[in-house]
Structure 1
Amino acid sequence: MNIGEASKASGVSTKMIRYYEQIKLISPALRTQSSYRTYADNDVHTLRFIRRARDLGFSVEQMKALLALWRDRSRASADVKTFALDHVAELERKAAAIQEMIRTLRHLASHCHGDDRPECPIIDEIANASDKEIPEINARFGVSALK
């Protein structure tokens, strides 16, 4: 099947399939004489695995490790369980940081008059917060560090 068909069958966009190939998360696709990528059922199965891992919030590096565990038929399930529980702990830290941000913003918004005056506790808090009060959050809501 071609890349479009593999994309539809796996739920992974063609752009992401090309990216995963580029970063060596997946093996390079076989090519036709016309240089079109072709995919087999096992490739689609791997792409579905990656899609599900991504949906569960695993990073690319974590997906590489998961793929290695998946392919290693002699692995211990305890290793997979530990890996998953470590990810759960990371997600819980991120969720706690996000909840704290929500509480802070709600509190600040409740103290903002929301009128024509320039005074605003939201802006004041953001401008005057110390480094230790601000959790660092990446674009995917991942906490990189809590100061």
Structure 2
Amino acid sequence: MTIGDAAKASGVPAKMIRYYESIGLIPKAVRNDSGYRYYAITDVHTLRFIRRGRDLGFSIDAIMRLLALWRDHHRASADVKRIALDHAAALRSKIADLEAMLGPIEYLADHCQGDHRSDCPIMDDLADHVARSEHEARETRPRHTKTTQRRGVST
């Protein structure tokens, strides 16, 4: 089947199929006499596997490892489970990071009048952060004194 057919059958866009080929996630497609890529049903199964992995948020690297295990009929399920648990831990960490951002945003939005006036705690908070960052940057810059050496010469 053509790349368009493989894309429809797998739910993976043709552009991503070409990308997955370029990084070795799937084998290079066989080319027919006209130079068009030709995909077998096994390629479509692999693309569906990849798509489901991406839908679940697995990284390309994790999917490569999972594909290798999928193809290895002597695999230990413990190896598959470890990849899944590592991914779950990473997702929990991202969720915690997002929740940590959500609280302050909701607090600021709750305290914003949302009317025609220009004063807004959301803008104040963002501007205060900029000011604090600039102050911290100034505090961490090295201070130059009269005895600062440049290119090995004292001034």
Return the TM-score normalized by structure 2. 0.78
1:10 deviation in Å? Answer: 0.6
Look up the match of 2:67: 67
Greater relative contact order (Cα < 8 A, sep 6+): 1
SS of equivalent to 1:103: helix
- Higher-Rg structure is 2
Equivalent residue number for residue 10 of structure 1: 10
**Matching of residues 92-111 of structure 1 within 5 Å:** 92-111=92-111
- d(CA) in 1 for partners of 2:51, 2:112: 42
Q: How many residues align?
A: 131
Given the alignment of the two structures, is residue 38 of structure 1 paired with residue 6 of structure 2, yes or no?
A: no
State the distance in 1 between where 2:76 and 2:63 align: 17
Note the 1:110-125 alignment, pairs <5 A: 110-125=110-125
The answer to which of 45-54 and 59-68 deviates more is 59-68
Greater CA drift, 96-105 or 16-25: 96-105
Q: Which amino acid aligns with 2:92?
A: E
Distance in 2 of aligned mates of 1:53 and 1:94: 18
Determine the structure 2 residue equivalent to 1:51: 51
Alpha-carbon offset, residue 118 of structure 1? 2.5
Q: Identity across aligned pairs (percent)?
A: 59
Give the ranges of 4+ consecutive aligned residues of structure 1 lying more than 4 Å apart after TM superposition: none
What are the Cα deviations for residues 56-113 of structure 1, in whole angstroms up to 9, with x where unaligned?
A: 0011111111111212222210111111011011111111221222222111001112
Q: How far apart in 2 are the matches of 1:5 and 1:116?
A: 54
The residue number in structure 2 matching 1:136 is none
